[in-house]
Amino acid sequence: METVHTATPLLALLASLIGAFLIIFTGGKRPNLREFWTILAAVTQFALICSMLPHVLQGKIVEYTFIEIYKGITLQLRVDTFGMIFALLASCLWIVVSVYSIGYMRTLKEHSQTRYFFCFALALFGATGVALAGNLLTLYMFYEILTIATFPLVAHQETPEAIKAGRKYLVYLLTGATFILFAMGLTYYLTGTLDFAPGGFIAGHGSKELLSLLFVAFIIGFGSKAAIMPLHEWLPSAMIAPAPVSALLHAVAVVKAGVFCCLRVILYIFGPEVLSDLGLWITLAYFVSFTVIVANIIALTQDNLKRRLAFSTINNLSIIILGAALLSSQGIKGAMLHIPFHGFMKITLFMCAGAIYVKTRLENISEMEGIGRQMPITMAAFTIGAAGLTGIPPVCGFISKWYLCLGTLEAQEILFLMVLLASALLDGAYFFPVIYGAFFKKSKGIKSTFDEAPVLVVAPIVITAIGSLLFGLFPDAFIHFFQLAALSAKNILGG
């Protein structure tokens, strides 16, 4: 595979890092300048990542080696097709969420906004770094930065519950990181390298038992961030954070980084051959299927809108891992597509929840009856997102779910097809009461005249909703998610 050596990946990362420090040095006295830095950093980062897209689409790899740490270990950024998907998603949605954050935070007159935007930029630095990391050590580094940068965001409200949620978040994720550290050490000891390779590099190193142990340690480690049950507890608690943070957590940075890392482990460290030899894929598939179904059932019982969305996220993350665990080409393609597509749809839903909160201070679904009359744009976007997550065409969720279903058929595992279909049904079951209530029920104390949230809040919602629709109609539009996913699947299974 051809390699292009340039510093562009580093510059893309530096955009958010420098942005973060510009934000903190500007401080709260000049909020407009501070927010300008956020937007500038986000746009710069997106542009730099897009500039690498043509190389990656031609099958080349963009590489930048920072420094060699030890024999066979470098700090290295290496952009491949799969990393590109996540990097594009993170940097693209960062622009949208930044605009939304400004609207949200200013309308609510939130405290500590400088810290908020600083940590936000730092979290994006971490997430993009995870996407662009060329080996496990670099990935771990950015993974940790992401974890720690998100802690102040989760605890942002500084109420006792928020602080408790923040602690819970740290306990789960740092414990996970310990498992990763152990697994990483063992991997290096066994293979002498940590560089990702499509199709895995661990084959032939170590006994069956040792490799199984290693895989379990990796999945526990990254699974804590991907909220695989029973490691999911922190995610619903973290819903105490402001809505843009939840949007970031769910759609872009944190949990997606967890899933991204799980896929890296499954497809780029172990690889389909080793996993089918060990028989571990089926264990993992059962495990995440359990999460898919149980999370959906719990979601049905939640009245708090954000908590319901949180369980929906847990379900969708596990669907992505399920698709990859099937080790079939269509399944991998579907899983990789579901990462950005779910990101677009889920961010829409969370931003809608935030818009409703900004306007009405309502958080519970039972109190939102009739809100569709007051906030029709928001609720229309919500409907698009919800329909997509249920898998209704032409929203993009349909495309990814279609490939996931094809993947189960290709792997000849009808049971997992059932799981996917059941989860789609349950998705519908907990989303449609919200939509029905909003548009068709009589309102209790909610205005029935048009009164939307501020433009800065609504515009991003409209953009991501339209994005979800567009990607459903043209999955390869603009930033070529479809082509990237197809190329990755080909590399992994063919290479």
Partner 1 sequence: MIVEQFPVLIVVAPLILAFIVNVVGLWNRRLCFYIVFIALSACLVFSLGILNTVLTQGEPIHYRLGNWQPPWGIEYVIDHLNALILVSVAIISLLVAVYAKRSLEQEIHESKLPQFYTLFLLQVTGLLGITATGDMFNLYVLLEIASFSAYAIIAMGERGADFAAFRYVLFGTIGACAYLLGTGYLYILTGSLNMVDVAHLLPQAFYSKALLVGLAFFVVGVGIKMGMFPLHIWLPDAYTLAPSAVSALLAPLFTKVGAYVIIRIMFTVFDPSFSLALYPVADILGWIAAIGILFACIMALAQSDLKRMLCYVIVAEMGYILIGIASANRLGLTGAILHIVNDMFMMACLFTVAGAIFYQTGTRNINQFRYLHRTMPITLAVFVVGALSVVGVPPLCGFFSKWYLILGAIQAQKWVLLAVLLISSLIYAILFFRVIECAYLEPREAHNHAYDGGHPTPTLDRVPISMLAPMVLIAAGIILLGIFSGKIIVHIIEFAIPATL
Residues 306/346, Cβ–Cβ less than 8 Å: no
**How is residue 443 annotated by DSSP?**
P
Contact set with partner 1 (CB under 8 A): 28, 67-70, 73, 75, 108-111, 137, 140-141, 144-145, 148, 151-152, 155, 157-161, 163, 166-167, 170-171, 174-175, 178, 181-182, 185-186, 188-189, 361
193 and 201 in contact (C-beta within 8 Å)?
yes
Comparison of 181 and 409: residue with beta carbon closer to partner 1: 181
Cβ proximity to partner 1, 46 vs 142, nearer residue: 142
Query: 115 or 441, CB closer to partner 1?
Result: 115
Considering the complex, what minimum distance in angstroms separates the CB of residue 13 from partner 1? 12
For residue 110, give the 3-state DSSP assignment. Answer: coil
Contact 443, 395 (CB under 8 A): no
Nearer to partner 1, 182 or 439 (CB): 182
Distance of closest approach, residue 168 Cβ to partner 1, in angstroms: 12
Token digits of residue 455: 């433009």
How crowded is residue 167: how many other Cβ atoms within 10 Å of its Cβ? 15
Helix (H) or strand (E) holding 62: strand 61-70
Nearest to residue 105, comparing CAs of 157, 29, 149?
157
CB 487, min distance to partner 1, A: 30
- 51: which residues sit within 8 A by CB, 6+ positions away? 8
Strand ranges across the sheet with 61-70: 3-5, 61-70, 73-79
Query: What is the C-alpha to C-alpha distance for residues 213 and 133, in angstroms, rounded to an integer?
Result: 24
Considering beta carbons, is residue 33 or 425 the nearer one to partner 1? 33
User: Smallest gap, in angstroms, from Cβ of residue 282 to partner 1?
Assistant: 28
Q: Shortest Cβ distance from residue 89 to partner 1 (Å)?
A: 24
Q: Taking the complex as a whole, how short is the minimal distance between the CB of residue 372 and partner 1, in angstroms?
A: 25
Instruction: Choose between 175 and 448: whose C-beta lies nearer to partner 1.
Output: 175
- Can you list the alpha helix ranges (DSSP code H) found in 58-112? 81-108
**Chain length of the chain:** 495
> Shortest gap between Cβ of 155 and partner 1 (angstroms)?
6
**Closer by beta carbon to partner 1, 2 or else 109:** 109
